Structure 1
């Protein structure tokens, strides 16, 4: 890796490991300036947000009248989706079906957290299990492709499966825990490419996969951004953007009310994502996603820059146990440890090295921002 020390934002902790970052004359990065100039002025969790949330709930309830449930919520067991399930039932009076996709990498803590929320709230849980042989082959293909975003198969399967379920059962509203409070700073595109780009998935699988890509749920940007919302009337909503949502308070409530167990880091409910974000990205590419996560908490007043820098001074993985973690991932994917370690040192590639639909995504983002459907956030 490059030994030159990166330039760090004077306001948050984003730095030049994001090659597209831009600093103003005060040393403040464009991630922060985008938040202060474009997101914060248009983001309201007070009276205006409450009115918007009330309209959202009325629409959901009307569409779900007479049905067993009025919306579905994708739940991973992480803090955002867990709190959303609680808020939807207890605060908003909705009747959600909890939807979980098992891609083969659930941690035991995640499984326990899902069960505790579902049982504690008296909700129904639907679990879709992804064909493990296909998932395993596709994940190996991404390792061998050399790209950073090896978590794409898992994330793509989560959303594609939920979209397919909503289409089949004519569910009008999908609620997601995505939110501005903890995710207003987005991962740079070179760190995490769009997980929904099925063209790239197919190309990487064609070059490095070993079995037919059957039984794997595939979506596409045009299908879920155009066809589903504007033709089928299926909307993806983010209720947490319209209510006060403080991560530490949400975590404490979930722990006290349901015995929910926290994770060492955001997204660590998946054993694969834990390996990917704590070891693969920082050790192979120099990308530490904690910088993005902490930057979001800094600009929203939930963390100080000093606290973030202190945490970033230590690796996000445990040096004493990472060998076991590598062995676990390799064995589960039916790779040798040597093969997995070889992937760590192979030539680094990016999404540009494979077929992709980046131009469609960029065009769509510009259109959504022009119509006020997207508050910002750099990708």
Structure 2
């Protein structure tokens, strides 16, 4: 297996390589620009975003939090729950559930099992659920359907295989919000640890159901996918505007320092950490730690670390040192994950190596809702200043 671990399919010229002098974003981001001091547009834009957010003021943040809690509580009267909290087994979602419960709300915790949960994730979920005494709904995806979809995405050579999980996860949360007539999904996301813009080409439009079905139709072996939950762009807009369901980055409303939050969860609830963001899933760990850097020359640690650097939660020197290592806890775990992936996907080592060596393909090579989204986004940006002025 050594050739699988050591091989790389890089797409940038070493002569043109440059890394930001403030964060650790580099020229693997296609649209990166540097000023005369070697500072990139990514950290500059993110820093500006942080200063313009009304929730950056602690007093305003507390005021907005109290308003949000009151709205959630009022909307949930007479219902078994008043909000949905997605739970992955990672620190962000666990801390969100903790704070929501502390504020006196009645959340339904929702987890989606796509067959790739790590044992550590399962233990963390059970630990926090039992410790907080909240109900948990787990949606288990049909593995044979999901594997066929994943295989189709691998055969298509598109970059965002995680589009499948991300879209289905949102669909499950919105479906449950509809079932219980709830209007608030409180997500474990925030600008302080993940607000830096994703470089173009590093992922794909997450509501592109048309792209999912086009790829499955072209490469899938199953004639129909019957149980896989999906959320199209049009349904997403209807749920947000028609049903009034809000997907809220809850951690923007509280003081959130990720290392401190992790330490508290570990001490009070026996929560066990992961080395990098989203590594609670075995596939996400393998995808971000092996497939992305090897096949697409994308190391998402740069984006995650840079966000933490600019928000004051990580030293640049620490990030540079960590980036010198492979994006895995250690080589042994990587080897184990390769073997697990091969067995679970019914692949062999040569098949994985062939996949890594093939060039990537654009999602736009297949039918897509992305052009519709871009058009809607332009229209919304055009009319937003007008509607704001009329208020």
TM-score by length of 1: 0.93
Going from structure 1 to structure 2, the CA distance change for 1:205 and 1:347 (only over 3 Å counts) comes to: same
Q: Does 1:260 align with 2:263?
A: no
Q: Whole-Å Cα distance in 1 between the matches of residues 360 and 116 of structure 2?
A: 25
Q: Does 1:4 align with 2:14?
A: yes
Q: Does 1:61 align with 2:55?
A: no
1:168-247 equivalences under 5 Å are 168-211=179-222, 212-224=224-236, 226-247=237-258
Q: How big is the shift at 1:148? A: 1.6
Q: Does 1:154 align with 2:165?
A: yes
Q: Whole-Å Cα distance in 1 between the matches of residues 72 and 86 of structure 2?
A: 16
1:100-119 equivalences under 5 Å are 100-119=111-130
Where does residue 364 of structure 2 map in the other structure?
352
Match of 2:48 among 37, 62, 81: 37
Which range is displaced more, 195-204 or 93-102?
195-204
Q: How big is the shift at 1:139? A: 0.6
* CA deviation string 1:170-215 (max 9, x = no partner): 2211110111110011322301112221111111111111102221
Instruction: Tell whether the 8 Å contact from 2:295 to 2:358 is kept in structure 1 after alignment.
Output: no
SS of 1:297's equivalent? helix
Going from structure 1 to structure 2, the CA distance change for 1:362 and 1:304 (only over 3 Å counts) comes to: farther
Which range is displaced more, 163-172 or 76-85?
163-172
Q: How big is the shift at 1:236? A: 1.0
Instruction: Tell whether the 8 Å contact from 1:187 to 1:289 is kept in structure 2 after alignment.
Output: no
SS of 1:44's equivalent? helix
Where does residue 62 of structure 2 map in the other structure?
50
Q: Whole-Å Cα distance in 1 between the matches of residues 73 and 380 of structure 2?
A: 26
Q: Does 1:298 align with 2:337?
A: no
Instruction: Tell whether the 8 Å contact from 2:79 to 2:180 is kept in structure 1 after alignment.
Output: no
**Structure 2 gap segments, 5+ residues each:** 1-9, 386-391
Q: Whole-Å Cα distance in 2 between the matches of residues 169 and 284 of structure 1?
A: 42
Which range is displaced more, 190-199 or 52-61?
190-199
Q: Whole-Å Cα distance in 2 between the matches of residues 7 and 182 of structure 1?
A: 24
Which range is displaced more, 61-70 or 270-279?
61-70
TM-score by length of 2: 0.90
Q: Does 1:277 align with 2:288?
A: yes
Where does residue 336 of structure 2 map in the other structure?
324
SS of 2:325's equivalent? coil
Which range is displaced more, 252-261 or 15-24?
15-24
Where does residue 84 of structure 2 map in the other structure?
72
Going from structure 1 to structure 2, the CA distance change for 1:101 and 1:321 (only over 3 Å counts) comes to: closer
| Count of aligned pairs | 370
